[in-house]
Structure 1
Amino acid sequence: MSDFSTVLLAATGAATDAHDIRAVVRRCFFYDFLGYPVRIWDGEGVLTTSDGNEWLGSIDGNGTNHHRAAAVRDARDGASPRYEFSMPFIDQATFDALKADQDLAAGREVTCHNAIFIHGEGIAPTTPIRFNYRLQIMGVKFGERAEALEGTTTKTYSASVLCRSLEYGRSRVPSGTYTDTAQRERARLEGYAADTFCSFVAANSNRTYVIGGN
């Protein structure tokens, strides 16, 4: 089983131009709903990744992606925007469970991974993935509708997830970048025990330091 970096290096090879790289990267989204986790990827069919999980493809045979994911931007610009992710088609059991326990969704997480493929080789039995970003769920909106087709009525269920980045709640000051909580979480995601650098930021706010002089 190859990891993400190994496949990427193999796909890059001796390429000197971006057009020569044979790698294809698709996003995988993990909605960590309590008791009813949902995994979706930007592709067709079922994807099995190197961590042993299966992801349901959100693209149909016509090339339409039914999963609408927000364009998440770099959080270091001093803002914490609200993002909305939409899952137009979920089964009734998951829909009913999520709706009944929607108060428990707040504070859970949405995690995006990148899955890598070699162009033209199709889906590997265990596709390598790599962490991309993680958001915190602020709430969930639900929708259902009935459609009549040739005498048969079909119900479709959907859910929209409202999220913010791990920067949510910090002071939005000019040149503000990190909070201690967010920086510690980034360190955890990278496999480090702790990163306490930002714990000094709040302690040194509203202070005046004089450099040089007598």
Structure 2
Amino acid sequence: MPDFTFEHAAGCIDGRLVAGIDEVGRGPLAGPVVACAVILDATRLPMDLALRIDDSKALRPVARRELFLRLQEHAQLGIGAASVEEIDGLNILAASLLAMRRAVESLPVSPDVALVDGNQAPDLRCPARTVVKGDQLSLSIAAASIIAKVTRDRIMADLAQTHPGYGWERNAGYGTAEHRAALERLGATPEHRRSFLPVRQCLSRQRQGPDSQDS
């Protein structure tokens, strides 16, 4: 379970503001990549909340949504995103780092240190330390993973209303069988990442016509 070990090492016990950063949405075929930066006060975070915070992937959707609401009350939050156009124009890694930087810049206060999930950090105004599997180790990063996941899921559910048939309210734009079948049947929307191979292949087949499906 994540704890405050990395935050303490970064100086939060000495009054330094330590932000945990995580992103969600590198793998989907559609939609933005979303990042969150979270600053937790280790002296004021309710113990029952601290014990429930975990990597968003390890939590059930209901638990994620409950923690999302509680973190609004007990954390300083910043959200950043990179659009489909930015993903296609830059590449998914660069777009993810851009979303992380925007998340930090949207915090209500400037952190002294940032803990970044993974092995690559965005260009920030403060020192950044990468933490591999940070969402499983650092409470701040785990909290950021929850906020980013729920935020992106809500974005994709809203986009599903505009682009029905792809199941984004269920698959969040990931390349599930349902989503891939709809992509072949309905074609690509403006929210699809054209730099991603399955989308490129689908668009290529559609340009070639129905006979290409059997080739």
Superposition TM-score tier, normalisation by shorter sequence: under 0.3
Question: Which structure has the greater CA radius of gyration?
Answer: 1
TM-score, length-normalised on structure 2? 0.27
TM-score, length-normalised on structure 1? 0.27
- Which structure exhibits the higher relative contact order, with contacts defined as CA atoms closer than 8 Å and separated by 6 or more residues? 2
More strand by share: 1
